[in-house]
Amino acid sequence: MKFGVIIFPGSNCDHDAFWTLEQVAKQKVTFLWHESHDLEDCDAVIIPGGFAYGDYLRTGAIAKFSRVMESVQSFAAQGGLVLGICNGFQILCESGLLPGALMRNVGLKYVCKPVQVRVENPDTPFTQGCRRGEVLTIPIGHMEGNYVCDSPTLEQLRDEDRIVLRYSSLKGDITPEANPNGSIDNIAGVCNAGRNVLGMMPHPERASEAHVGGTDGFKIFQSLVGALVSK
């Protein structure tokens, strides 16, 4: 199998994702350039964190027009696995691959710290290695991580079990105090109706090796590898 990590002008977590896939997960991985339509026969695509195109206008607003995203949209429509992390989540929402939008954090401050997220749906390619209700500790680093959507969309996400991750306490309680950015319903990650596209604000690539603070994030990559193996 082969993974692709997209590079936009301003990406700053692309090499972290590449390292995790190649050195920790021991998978074949390549970088994908934002100006290219070629996904190089990758089986899964990672849209990493960073500040694509400097986040001018708003996060993800310019990146959605890149050539590579045209190919990612087609890839996703055919069932290809796509993981958007932080800025990648923002780009997926701007591209229409996921509902909702990411706004400025409540308090208007950049937040960078480990947080807890509770796994709400283990029945996705990205969380199949987790248990429902399992609490993972994964770092965040964002200014615009406040997930918003209208009431009908939120109801649909709940009804279809598409809220994959929620900010929680260490014990797994969903509380306002556990919410680092004001996201509606404590949402930290959602998937599309086909469950092959996931956007999440926490950075699993920053929690994939014990010597850098923890390995909870690696469960996302392990799940993804497992899903491809079983295909």
Catalytic annotation, residues: 86, 203, 205
The values of phi and psi at residue 209, to 5°, are: -140, 135
Give Cα 43 to chain centroid, integer Å: 17
DSSP codes, 6-44:
EE-TTB-SHHHHHHIIIIIS--EEEEEETT----TT-SE
**What is the DSSP pairing of strand 81-85 with strand 44-47?**
parallel
- Cβ contact 218:225 at 8 Å: no
Q: Which residue has the tokens 């310019």?
A: 62
User: How many helices (DSSP H) and strands (DSSP E) are in the chain?
Assistant: 5, 11
CA distance 211 to 198: 27
CA distance 28 to 52: 24
